[in-house]
Amino acid sequence: MGVNTIATMPFLIAATLLLYLPTIAIATDPCASQLEDSAITVIPIYGNCSPFKNLSDSWDTTIIQMASKDPLRVQYLFGLDTSLRKKRVSAAPIASGQAFNIGNYVVRVKLGSPDQLFFMVLDTSTDEAWVPCTGCTGCSSSATYSPQASTTYGGAVACYAPRCAQARGALPCPNTGSNACIFNQSYAGSTFSATLVQDSLRLALDTLPSYAFGCVNSVSGGSIPAQGLLGLGRGPLSLLTQSRSLYSGVFSYCLPSFKSFYFSGSLKLGPTGQPRRIRTTPLLRNPRRPSLYYVNLTGVTVGQVQVPLPTEYLAFDPNRGSGTIIDSGTVITRFVQPVYNAIRDEFRNQVKGPFVSIGAFDTCFVKTYETLAPLIKFQFTGLDLTLPYENTLIHSTYGAVACLAMAAAPNNVNWVLNVIANYQQQNLRILFDTVNNRVGIARELCN
């Protein structure tokens, strides 16, 4: 049926994208022989070209472990509500030195002069970029950014500068001591403290001078990306905004199948080289969570059945911050509980079962029933997306069991977001055009 197996999906473990930046500690580029071009290469975190490759666990075990972290991810998305920002700023990280353990898609990014190379997580729901800084307490990576080693280092942003106020979690200027801009953030259950600094940032063939990013000084918890993160959100410190004069607020990516081992996906920046013929749906902005990419999900079909869904759980509502977002960092698509229950129940009705639960997946069945599995279609304003089976089902390695690769959002928060996650985005070109306010989706095999 062309369905991904957990045994062959090293990259379902990814929930956000890593960028590859040269470091002074210097991180070895495992694919340095590959030529760079205008497309930025994207790899799965456990691929042959990734320094984080770990094949000690079976893929089904790894997927279950990574999907179990999605609730922390969606709680993080919930916390982006600007009305909650003051509460988040108050959290100060305490270094614990927990071991690095995160799975994401990655791209190569280079900071400073000479190049310091990093694999950074690429995250469409975060604005700021940040990397571990030399001397960081609690950072798990030996690849760290050294400001002193860069001839293009522009120093720390001042705490009284307007740019400092743009950082989520920025602290007020202290009464005494340094006037450097410090910000504290939470990410996937961990917290960190960083200094906002400026240096050149290079992606593929382009160099962005005086790019503002966080130099992480301390970490509490082991869930943040070991070599940092590049934010592709819609806020003032995101790559999209800081490079607007160069890329005109347009980018797209194609995430390879999780069974791909190589730099086969791509991140394309700017209008040039984007698909000319692509179906689009309006890109919406929600002031409660202004960094997120909202789209209007109007319905879901399972097979030939239009699933009856309560409209209040699908509707885009700026007052509540509710609606549907496209996110590169969450592993499997998460719907609010009533929406997920309706989709799952119709899927079960057509497959017949019996069903068991495995980790985050509550609709798993013997593979012999797979011929009954229906296609699932997401209906957006002006665009229908029928998911291929590889984006709908996953398989266990040894038990010949298939599972519906979707789940309900956490029920321990007042959750109002539906999240279209990266497993459902495999081998699709996803275009974000913030100038014309549209999101495009086209089938593209980028394995």
Tell me if 367 sits within 8 A of 396, measured CB to CB: no
By CB neighbour count within 10 A (0-12 exposed, 13-18 middle, 19+ buried), where does 397 fall?
middle
Label residue 25 exposed, middle or buried (CB < 10 Å: 0-12, 13-18, 19+).
Answer: middle
Query: Rounded to whole angstroms, how far apart are CA atoms 139 and 221?
Result: 9
Residues with Cβ within 8 Å of residue 197, at least 6 apart in sequence? 147, 153, 154, 155, 156, 157, 212, 213, 214, 215
- Collect all residues with Cβ–Cβ distance below 8 Å to 344 and sequence separation of at least 6: 362, 363, 404, 406
Tokens representing 67 are 């999907």
Cα 334 from Cα 341, distance rounded (Å): 11
Grouping H, G, I as helix, E, B as strand and the rest as coil, residue 334 is strand
- Among candidate residues 60, 81, 127, 327, the one labeled active-site is 327
Instruction: Give CA–CA dist 212/193, Å, rounded.
Output: 15
Number of H helices, E strands in the chain: 7, 27
Q: Provide the token pair at 419.
A: 């999240």
Out of 115, 123, 127, 199, which one is annotated catalytic?
A: 123
Report whether 426 contacts 265 (CB < 8 A).
no
Is 123 assigned a catalytic role?
Answer: yes
Q: Where are the beta strands (DSSP E) in 221-284?
A: 229-231, 250-254, 265-269, 279-282
Distance CA 139, CA 216 (A): 8
Active site members: 123, 327
